[in-house]
Amino acid sequence: MFYPLALLLLAVTAQASVMTLKSPRFVVSDSTGSQLRAEPTASPVKLGARENLKITFQVVDKEDEKGVQPHQTFIRFYDASTGEEGIQPVRVTPGGKAKFDLNLSKPPLYLPPTSDEPLKVSLIIGTPDYDPLSVQLFDLVLPRSQPAPVHPDEAVFHPRPELKHTFRPEQKVPNKFISLVFSGIALAPWFVLLGLWSQVAPRATGLFSPSILPFIASLGAFEGLLLTYWLKLRLGDVLLYGSILGVITVFTGRQALSSIAAKRTQ
């Protein structure tokens, strides 16, 4: 029986204290500073385009009514019709007193866009050792907001028409027989030329003799080296292999020329 009572007493003593608002009041003045109306918070409060709103209140402990400086205090403007809201921190003195000013001649950025519906103004207060506090102050009627100016690049961020590509129709291929006939006509002069050249050109005698064939092979090796360089070799490798082939070509060439000269003197 003792333990439940002890736990109950511990829970009561550990319960956080309660804050409350004392003397909340609003004052509406015109652009010259002349006071138009001042009274405790009521609803709704109507504010003109050139008028100013001042809200004053004090945060106190509910039991001893001593001033409390909350850790965080915010004033919230909420439009129930659009769901837009604006929240602004409020500075509170160590004695718990606070003041908030709203000047409609220069509308602040935290104020949400206004419509024909009033904004619900409330306070949200939080601090350690106290229960959080949310107080609905009043409904604020403001002039309707002007529409936002249209940005010159706004159209870029809207959906664009779908791009439809027009592809060129496939090229018609002529008949294969016609293609072969005209290809034969184009190649015929070359075959005629080769046939006539074989009849009039001098024949190379002794081209594959042991004294001339090494020179012909060295010249073919040069052609193969250039082809390999185009495929994968580096310039340094080509110069190295080319110098070796050059020496071989010089000796094989002298041997081939000597054998041809010997045959002519016989």
9-22 residue pLDDT tens? 444 444 568 889 88
Interacting residues of 90 by C-beta distance below 8 A, sequence separation 6+? 73, 74, 75, 98, 100, 123
Q: What is the largest CA-CA distance in the chain?
A: 144
CA distance 220 to 243: 15
Q: What is the pLDDT of residue 247?
A: 93
Q: For residue range 231-262, what is the model confidence (pLDDT) as tens digits? A: 888 888 989 999 999 999 999 989 988 888 88
Q: For residue range 129-162, what is the model confidence (pLDDT) as tens digits? A: 899 999 998 888 888 877 767 778 877 787 888 8
The structure tokens 């606070």 sit at: 98
Q: Considering only 1-15, 75-89, 111-125, 206-220, which range has the smallest mean pLDDT?
A: 1-15
Q: For residue range 182-228, what is the model confidence (pLDDT) as tens digits? A: 888 988 888 888 888 777 766 666 677 888 888 989 988 988 998 88
Residue 131 CB coordination number (10 Å): 13
Give the end-to-end CA distance of the chain in Å, rounded to a whole number. 144
**How large is the average pLDDT for residues 32-54?**
81
Q: What is the pLDDT of residue 72?
A: 92
Q: What is the DSSP string of 135-154?
A: EEEEEEE-PPPPPPPPPTTG
Q: What is the pLDDT of residue 83?
A: 87
pLDDT of 40 above 70: yes
**How large is the average pLDDT for residues 107-115?**
86
pLDDT of 124 above 50: yes
**How large is the average pLDDT for residues 105-114?**
85
The structure tokens 């002349």 sit at: 34
Interacting residues of 262 by C-beta distance below 8 A, sequence separation 6+? none
Q: What is the DSSP string of 203-238?
A: P-TTTTSTTTHHHHHHHHHHHHHHHHHHHT--HHHH
Beta strands in 41-128 (DSSP E): 45-46, 52-61, 72-78, 85-89, 97-103, 119-126
**How large is the average pLDDT for residues 53-67?**
90
**How large is the average pLDDT for residues 76-103?**
91
